[in-house]
Chains A and B, each alone.
Chain A
Amino acid sequence: MSNYLVQFNNISKFFGKVIALKDVTMRLKKGEIMCLLGDNGAGKSTLIKTLAGVHKPDEGEIIFEDKKIVFDSPKDALDIGIGTVYQDLALVSLMSVTRNFFMGREPQKGIPFLKTFDVNRANKIAADRMGQIGIDVRDPSQAVGTMSGGERQCLAISRAIYFGAKVLVLDEPTSALGVHQASMVLKYIVKAASEGLAVILITHNVHHAYPVGNSFTVLNRGKSMGTFQKKDISREKLLSMMAGGEELDKLEVELQEMDRIHQKN
């Protein structure tokens, strides 16, 4: 038995002639946070959708708890415990915290055919869960629209964990957030990992990824540039690997050149 919780081995995905992903391999242990870094167009979205069961990989295999798994639908991925939190969070801002938390999986009570949504129990669970991560939901029947961006992100993550996620796939959880909000979300991600979840954190922000990640996989133009343990790689090295690196170097040279010409004139 390997000590990996989940393995994505040599995943490839083609759309017609376009190679969206080629031989991407990721292996995660329990409690590990792997950051998946890549610039826009690197294939992050395709990879997420493949992990979440939306796309079927054309090549490669997914091994979960040492069993080979084939997803036919996003529901299959959810059922075995791969919880994906998309960028749009799947939250409805006009609906209450509780109604969002249990959206699609409402607890029921009562006799068959006359089952009712157990609002009281749902309120209690939602408030408890949010309380555990230090978010004080003053009133679980308040609209999600009244929450801050960081709180919403935490609500979506908390919901995925509550409904049995063992592997959390987080799509750009900090991209739309300010420094304070982002650090709140990152803190929660570390806490979730410390409780035994494996986390795949997808981001293009090395500054957010580096402090929390245990390992880093860099994606460039659909190919993995390799997976690195934190001790083996520096923040700067990661940054320059993310395709942007070389280009930013070039940009710097060009800017210096322009500056020189400007000064001459």
Chain B
Amino acid sequence: MSLKSKSISSKDSLNKDERLKKISPFRVLLNRPELGALGGSILVFIFFGIVAGDTGMFSAYGMLNFLDVSANLGIIAIAAAMLMIGGEFDLSIGSMIGFAGICIAIPAIYWGWPLWMSIIFAFAMAVLVGYFNGIMVVKTGLPSFIVTLAMLFILRGLTLAITRLITGRTQVPGLRVLIEDDPMAWLFATDTFKWLFTWLGSMKLIELRTDGTPLATGIPPSVIWFIALTLFATWILMKTRYGNWIFASGGDKVGATNVGVPVGRVKISLFIGTAVASTIFACIQVLDAGSADTMRGTLKELEAIAAAVVGGCLLTGGYGSAIGAAFGAIIFGTVSMGIFYTDVDTDWFKVFLGAMMLIAVVFNNFIRKKVTESK
């Protein structure tokens, strides 16, 4: 109680404003875009805690499993969220994942490039694709929905055609042997905190294999990337000038232009961001599986947008958060994995995904009205 009154009085003395209505901490929280996703995550954990608490879902191995899935989705969801805050969509995320995969695999396997060079090549292609998406949207004024839908087909088609032309197949295996000793691949293929898991295993605190090594060997690279990108994106949005430009570009393109925000540049950079995030996703998956598949990433763009929407992003732009999108991804990842631990048929996952998104949109719409309502 004393803490609460102290915080209010210090705020009062700061503003010297007796008219400042005392807003309850709950109302402040309600005005944050990530509230819905945070609440949803908690509900999901409580649900699986009750339904699947004793099934091994919440063992170290089980947790890393659903965190890995969440993190992979989160990497693209955060980039999609930033683009949505900037007022645009990218439907080519999934196709970009497949395209980036073969941009790594074909040069490395068929052209004899070192793996690190193929990875750099893939990122360069991503920047090019993102730039093209961005410049098309900015220069033509066409809806990004249409431009990136076209890119969805173009990239997927290119991926399939080029791969079959060069390899005669639709999959490019054989990457695993190249990972060792590569100066760059470890960025996307190394489990971290292995010592911690070894120690936990030796203390018999986590599950062990029959040979005595722990079942969970370390934090997968996706989780590290996911956490780093969430922090980075949040820092950009909340703490930098560029972050303010993203909100402004999405909130009111004309107004932002009139006060000197370089809206075009902001949007192009955000499109490059989604393409690069797709490539990070592709690197992790390709190096983990040891092969590239032309169909990899199919429909991922919709999952990323769904996670961003559940995370509080408005479809009209100008509002949302990276942390929200991260929680949105955690919800989807947890449910998609958790459903295996329950008696529920996994076919129901998509039903859940759709229902969750619908609830989120209705909720966010309500919040937006609250935020902008006149006093």
- Chain A contact residues, CB within 8 Å of chain B: 74-75, 78, 84, 86, 88-95, 99, 102-106, 108, 115-117, 119, 127, 136, 138-139, 143, 145-148, 159
**B256, A103: Cβ atoms closer than 8 Å:** yes
**Nearest CB of A to B282, in Å:** 28
**B241, A117: Cβ atoms closer than 8 Å:** yes
Residues of chain A within 8 A of B319, CB atoms compared: 94
**A103, B248: Cβ atoms closer than 8 Å:** yes
**B259, A90: Cβ atoms closer than 8 Å:** yes
Q: A136-B17, A138-B19 are in contact. List 13 more A-B contacts (CB 8 A).
A: A90-B254, A90-B256, A92-B252, A94-B247, A94-B251, A99-B247, A102-B244, A105-B260, A106-B241, A115-B241, A117-B239, A139-B15, A146-B375
Between-chain CB contacts (< 8 Å), 17 pairs: A88-B254, A90-B252, A90-B254, A90-B255, A91-B255, A92-B252, A94-B319, A95-B248, A99-B247, A99-B248, A103-B256, A108-B241, A136-B19, A138-B15, A138-B19, A138-B20, A148-B374
B318 at the interface (CB under 8 A from A): yes
**A105, B259: Cβ atoms closer than 8 Å:** yes
Residues of chain A within 8 A of B94, CB atoms compared: none
B243 at the interface (CB under 8 A from A): yes
**B371, A94: Cβ atoms closer than 8 Å:** yes
Given A103-B259, A145-B372, A117:B251 Cβ within 8 A: no
B139 at the interface (CB under 8 A from A): no
Residues of chain A within 8 A of B260, CB atoms compared: 75, 78, 104-105
**B244, A99: Cβ atoms closer than 8 Å:** yes
Given A91-B252, A92-B252, A102-B244, A146:B373 Cβ within 8 A: yes
- A159: nearest residue on chain B (CB-CB)? B259
Given A92-B318, A94-B318, A116:B240 Cβ within 8 A: yes
B4 at the interface (CB under 8 A from A): no
- A102: nearest residue on chain B (CB-CB)? B244
- B316: nearest residue on chain A (CB-CB)? A94
**B20, A104: Cβ atoms closer than 8 Å:** no
Given A88-B255, A138-B17, A143:B372 Cβ within 8 A: yes
Bound Cα distance from A104 to B248, whole angstroms:
8
**Nearest CB of B to A230, in Å:** 32
Residues of chain A within 8 A of B247, CB atoms compared: 92, 94-95, 99
**B239, A92: Cβ atoms closer than 8 Å:** no
B261 at the interface (CB under 8 A from A): yes
- A145: nearest residue on chain B (CB-CB)? B372
Q: Mark B210-249, 1 if CB is under 8 A from A, else 0.
A: 0000000000000000000000000000011101110110
Given A90-B259, A117-B241, A139:B20 Cβ within 8 A: yes
- Chain B contact residues, CB within 8 Å of chain A: 15, 17, 19-21, 23, 31, 239-241, 243-245, 247-248, 251-252, 254-256, 258-261, 314, 318-319, 368, 371-375
The answer, among B243, B259, B372, for a CB contact under 8 Å with A146, is B372
Bound Cα distance from A78 to B372, whole angstroms:
30
The answer, among B17, B245, B251, B373, for a CB contact under 8 Å with A104, is B245
**B374, A89: Cβ atoms closer than 8 Å:** no
Residues of chain B within 8 A of A105, CB atoms compared: 259-260
**A104, B318: Cβ atoms closer than 8 Å:** no
Given A92-B252, A95-B318, A117:B240 Cβ within 8 A: yes
Residues of chain A within 8 A of B23, CB atoms compared: 139
Bound Cα distance from A145 to B241, whole angstroms:
21
**B15, A127: Cβ atoms closer than 8 Å:** yes
**A119, B372: Cβ atoms closer than 8 Å:** no
**Nearest CB of A to B319, in Å:** 5
Bound Cα distance from A106 to B53, whole angstroms:
49
The answer, among B239, B248, B255, for a CB contact under 8 Å with A89, is B255
- A74: nearest residue on chain B (CB-CB)? B258
Bound Cα distance from A159 to B259, whole angstroms:
10
Bound Cα distance from A116 to B21, whole angstroms:
30
- B319: nearest residue on chain A (CB-CB)? A94
- A146: nearest residue on chain B (CB-CB)? B375
Which among A86, A94, A102, A145 has the highest number of chain B CB atoms within 10 Å?
A: A94
Given A103-B248, A116-B240, A145:B17 Cβ within 8 A: no
